[in-house]
Amino acid sequence: MAYDIIVVGNGPAGLSAAVQAKARGKKVLVVGGAPSDIQLAKAGLVRNYLGMPDLSGAEMMERFRSHAREMGAELRTGRVLGVMPLGEFFLVSIGSEVEEAGAVVLATGVSYGAKLPGEEQFLGRGVSYCATCDGMLYRNKDIVVVGRSAQAPEEANYLQKIGCRVTYVSNGPRPAELSGEIPYRTAARLEVVGGQTVTALKADGEEIPCAGLFLLRAAASPVDLVPGLAADGPYVQVDRNMATSIPGLFAAGDCVGQPLQISKAVGEGMIAGHRASEYVDQHKKG
């Protein structure tokens, strides 16, 4: 087994789960997006976290990350595309790589932004969430990158370098990291259109022709990541042990419901890390 526990999400809940699992001697991988994408990192001042008043969100996140690193957790920047339960273990798809774990903790936070019209219909037929995985399929073709994360400009630059003809669309100012050779469009209303496959992105009513569309968000819905995962509305359904409907899969933090607070996330992450460690121990003994 490559890892005892893989934690999906590198916010307060995920890092708390990792620290707890490392305290119990487990080999832990934490996978998440760019630290700047985490909601807490964007807070100017946090005044209500016990024992750590008047820190900026970025300072608090760096303390959490440093603690997890010092405990020996492996922190990896990446995009988790799927979590596959296979009875005695899990396969976790991270970009173009696959890792194996005895248990998984979901700490993905809240997925900000509803799915685009047409997104689900064309998923796998022109819509992709991973530039590294699918970019080579679109060499010498027109594609659109919808940037909703700090990593999106870098991924758009990568797609251009491998030969894709990229147009970048976002609802904010042009990112400084985006290559000057990539056309940029600002749009608030987006829709995926096509026939058998994607043919265009409709941006504020105007169609941008493309063969592929890369939707690069800061967070994905955990229900979309795990087949058969039970949900409670927009949130993952868990019990008091932070266990989901799938054995060996735990969840914590904003993805399991309100209140969306740091203290709640850290506490739930601790429970999830503890119970995931117990699950791995019991599985090994069995």
pLDDT-based confidence at 36, cuts 50/70/90? confident
**Residues 203 and 134 placed together within one structural domain of the fold:** yes
**Residues 135 and 271 placed together within one structural domain of the fold:** no
Rounded to an integer, the average pLDDT of 36-63 is 88
Strands 235-236 and 231-232: antiparallel
**Residues 212 and 223 placed together within one structural domain of the fold:** no
pTM given for the model: 0.80
What is the distance between the alpha carbons of residues 140 and 109, in angstroms, rounded to a whole number?
A: 36
**Residues 159 and 42 placed together within one structural domain of the fold:** no
Domain ranges, residue 48 = 3-112+219-285
- Asked whether the beta carbons of 1 and 251 are under 8 A apart, the reply is no
**Residues 95 and 191 placed together within one structural domain of the fold:** no
Could you give phi then psi for residue 132, rounded to 5 degrees?
Answer: -65, -40
**Residues 173 and 44 placed together within one structural domain of the fold:** no
Does residue 121 belong to any structural domain of this protein? Answer: no
**Residues 224 and 105 placed together within one structural domain of the fold:** yes
pLDDT tens-digit series, residues 132-185:
778 899 999 999 999 988 888 999 999 999 999 999 999 989 999 999 999 999
Cα 187–Cα 58–Cα 277 angle in degrees, nearest 5: 105
Does residue 120 belong to any structural domain of this protein? Answer: no
pLDDT tens-digit series, residues 169-183:
999 899 999 999 999
Domain count, the chain: 2
CA 108 to chain centre: 6
Q: Among residues 172, 202, 217, which one ends one of the domains?
A: 217
Q: Can you give the CATH number for the domain in which 25 is found?
A: 3.50.50.60
Q: Among residues 217, 232, 259, which one ends one of the domains?
A: 217
**Residues 102 and 22 placed together within one structural domain of the fold:** yes
**Residues 205 and 239 placed together within one structural domain of the fold:** no
**Residues 62 and 147 placed together within one structural domain of the fold:** no
pLDDT-based confidence at 112, cuts 50/70/90? low
**Residues 99 and 225 placed together within one structural domain of the fold:** yes
Lowest mean pLDDT among 7-11, 36-40, 60-64, 253-257: 36-40
What is the distance between the alpha carbons of residues 268 and 14, in angstroms, rounded to a whole number?
A: 9
pLDDT score of 285: 54
**Residues 140 and 208 placed together within one structural domain of the fold:** yes
Q: Among residues 189, 217, 245, which one ends one of the domains?
A: 217
Does residue 33 belong to any structural domain of this protein? Answer: yes
pLDDT score of 286: 47
What is the distance between the alpha carbons of residues 107 and 103, in angstroms, rounded to a whole number?
A: 13
CA distances from 271 to 9, 250, 253, 277, 278 (A): 16, 9, 11, 10, 11
Which amino acid, one-letter code, is at 45? L
